[in-house]
Amino acid sequence: MIRSLLIGLSLFAMLMPWQARAELVIEITGGSEAALPIAVVPFGYEGFAASEDISAIVRNDLERSGRFAPLPQQDLISTPHEKSEINFKDWRLLRSEGLLVGKVSSVDGQTYQVQFQLFDVYKAQQLVGKRYQVPASGLRRVAHQIADQVYQALTGEQGVFSTRLAFVSVLKNADGSRRYALQISDSDGANPRTVLQSKQPILSPNWSPEGERLSYVSFENGKAEIFIQEMRSGKRTALATFKGLNSAPSWSPDGRKLAMTLSKGGNPEIYVMDIATKALTRVTHSSQSIDTEAVWMPNGHELVFTSDRGGRPQIYKVPATGGRAERLTFEGRYNASPDISADGRYLTMMHALKGKFYIAVQDLETGAVNVLTERGKDESPSFAPNGRLILYATEQNGKGILAAVSVDGNFHQRLGETGIDVREPAWSPIRK
């Protein structure tokens, strides 16, 4: 008895050093790259049935972003619609980063009440919750907004689900002739609306910074001319109809100017036009080469463009008021169609390898180039406004389709409806 007591005491003494060390310190640098698990519980419906499955849209949005891994429906242990119905202890076992619940109700089938709540199951706290009242036609938009809210609450970044895509669809008439449609859709490619139709090609749609206007190139008058069109009113203006080529418009970050390629002097050069006064500033002066596809740096003072002044197309940077151009791309023999991320850090471009075209991204700080796509028929890259995804056009079964890839190249997805030949996509900015 005494012996065992002594042993016990000595064991206690042995543990003293550990107990004296109050806490063990563990340093963690960098978390998981894996997508965030999230539980999206199907919303409850009351009264008139809704035309849209809001929770499904949200779930798809989150999944498509590449940042979330929604739990499979069959894994959800219950279907709560509000806090009082949630047993947090059970949900903790699923180790989801968040739990989204909500409900939709309508008394007349015209106006719908939509509410959602996002919970931190570990702390049993609501992270974000909102209530909307919308007409039936607004249900999809509400779903995208909810996805944006969830995205922002859990990642800290602005969601881009409520943004839109602009692209050109090539449609075939019954007689076999083609017509071109400038279309805009939701960010998931769904719900496409045609804003312009033409028997002649339409090219290079480009969103104004506030997301209310599009500039594009139309051949409706037999040659490439630049137009501006307001989305709400449909009002359009022919902005550049100079002799020769009028192409590749790009809106300045302040929305007042448009960079474009004009060959009115005989050789395609970059110009900047003041939209209000139509005053032109010539930016490039290389008569022996083609300079085109200018886009603005977020600072609004510089342009990035494609030029073959070095013999082959490469990306250059030049002050928007003109000056000496600086070559940005050195990897590969062909780089064209540049776009710059909203933070100015990344350059995406069409990158040719052995006669095939891929989407690549270049870190402008380190110069590192990462080829993101694999098909080899990829073109017209355009950054999502949060810089996380790159929208581009590719080809499948002889038809143009829209696709997106995450900037790290890990997450690929196809957008839009099948069976339509689409090209020249442009991702809208986040509407202010």
Partner 1 sequence: MKKQWIENIIAGSYAVALHIILVVLLFMGFDSASETVVMPAAVDIVQATVIDEQQVLDDISDRKDRIEEQKTAETARLEAIKQKEAEAKAEKEKAALEREKEKLRIEQEKQRKLDQERENKIAEQKKRDEEVKRKVEAEKARLAEEKRQVEEKKAAELKKQKEQEAQKQKAEEAKKLKAEKDRKAAEEKKRQAAEKQRLADEEKRKKAEADRLLQESLATEEREREERRISGVVNQHMGMIRQRIKRYWSEPGNATKGMQCTLRVSLLPGGDVRQVTVVKSSGNAIFDRTAESAVYKAAPWPQPSDPKAAAALRDFTFVFNPK
- Local structure of 114: helix, strand or coil: strand
Distance linking the first and last C-alpha atoms of the chain: 78
Q: With binding defined as CB under 8 A, does residue 97 bind partner 1?
A: yes
Q: Taking CB under 8 A as the rule, which mask of x and - marks residues 34-63 in contact with partner 1?
A: x-x---------------------------
Q: Which stretch binds partner 1 (CB under 8 A): 149-157, 307-315, 332-340, 395-403?
A: 149-157
Comparing CB distances to partner 1, the nearer of 151 and 357 is 151
CA distances 248 to 87, 260, 317, 424, Å, are 56, 5, 16, 11
With binding defined as CB under 8 A, does residue 153 bind partner 1?
Answer: yes
**How far, in Å, CA of 432 to CA of 430, rounded?**
6
Contacts with 63 (C-beta within 8 Å, 6 or more apart), sequence order: 69, 70
DSSP state of 56: H
Site for partner 1 in 402-431 (CB under 8 A): none
Q: Tell me the C-alpha distance between 150 and 166, whole Å.
A: 25
For residue 17, count other CB atoms closer than 10 A to its CB.
8
69 burial level (CB within 10 Å; 0-12, 13-18, 19+): middle
Q: Does 27 bind partner 1 (CB under 8 A)?
A: yes
Q: Are 142 and 186 in contact (CB under 8 A)?
A: no
Residue with tokens 């069976």: 419
Q: How far is the CB of 105 from partner 1 (least distance, A)?
A: 30
Among 1, 18, 234, 288, binds partner 1 (CB under 8 A): 18
Q: Considering beta carbons, is residue 156 or 398 the nearer one to partner 1?
A: 156
Q: How far is the CB of 127 from partner 1 (least distance, A)?
A: 8
- Candidate residues 92, 172, 199, 377; the one interacting with partner 1 per rule CB under 8 A: 92
Q: Of 3, 23, 174, 177, which lies in the binding site for partner 1, with binding defined by CB under 8 A?
A: 23
> Is residue 370 at the binding interface for partner 1, with CB under 8 A as the rule?
no
Q: Which residues bind partner 1 (CB under 8 A)?
A: 11, 14-15, 17-19, 22-32, 34, 36, 67, 92, 95, 97, 120, 122-123, 127, 153-157, 388
